[in-house]
Amino acid sequence: MTRCPLVYVYDRSTGLSSRRLLEQRLIGCRTTADRYGWEITGIWTDHGTDAMSHLPRERPAFLNLVHRMTADASAVRRQRMCLVHDWDRLTTARTMRMAFQRQVADAGGCVATTFGESDARWEARIPTSQPAPPG
């Protein structure tokens, strides 16, 4: 029997006015995880100026997510996935997105969106008892 992947939800919010949007995106992440039977290990959110940085090292919540994913790798032999609503949740600077993806890959995971996009092949990396998301 294949065990479901561990999911580490990440998002960022620049201010109080975007709080409702943040909550809607997080609901989308929880709904996606529920739909595929994935286990959410936690939710990490950067706020304010931390959320605006295009560098992973300047995002404390993101770094904590990566540290947790790394720690889980030695104790748990399961696939690990950083789930975001869309790619812009990492950064809007497309040239810098790979730096975030590299951090997750170095921790033994992959990044996926609620729209079924991933930087890893779903069938090969993310075993589930449910069908793979469209994409």
Report if residue 135 sits inside a domain.
no
The percentage of the chain sitting over the pLDDT mark of 90, rounded to a whole number, equals: 73
Report if residue 132 sits inside a domain.
no
Q: CATH no. for residue 56?
A: 3.40.50.1390
Higher pLDDT, 126 or 72: 72
What does the pLDDT read at residue 116? 93
What does the pLDDT read at residue 2? 60
Higher pLDDT, 127 or 117: 117
- For residue 111 the two structure tokens come to 């990044």
134, with CB counted inside 10 A (0-12, 13-18, 19+), is exposed
Report if residue 48 sits inside a domain.
yes
Report if residue 81 sits inside a domain.
yes
Domain range holding 72?
Answer: 6-125
Report if residue 134 sits inside a domain.
no
Tell me the C-alpha to C-alpha distance, in Å, between residue 132 and each of 33, 35, 62, 114, 121.
Answer: 12, 11, 26, 12, 10
Give residue 121's pLDDT band: very low, low, confident or very high (50, 70, 90). Answer: low
Tell me how far the alpha carbon of residue 46 is from its chain's centroid. Answer: 13
Report if residue 98 sits inside a domain.
yes
- How many domains are there within the chain? 1
Lowest mean pLDDT among 40-44, 57-61, 81-85, 130-134: 130-134
**pLDDT tens sequence across 71-98:** 997 767 789 999 999 999 999 998 899 9
Q: Is the pLDDT of residue 37 over 50?
A: yes
| Average of per-residue pLDDT values in the chain | 87
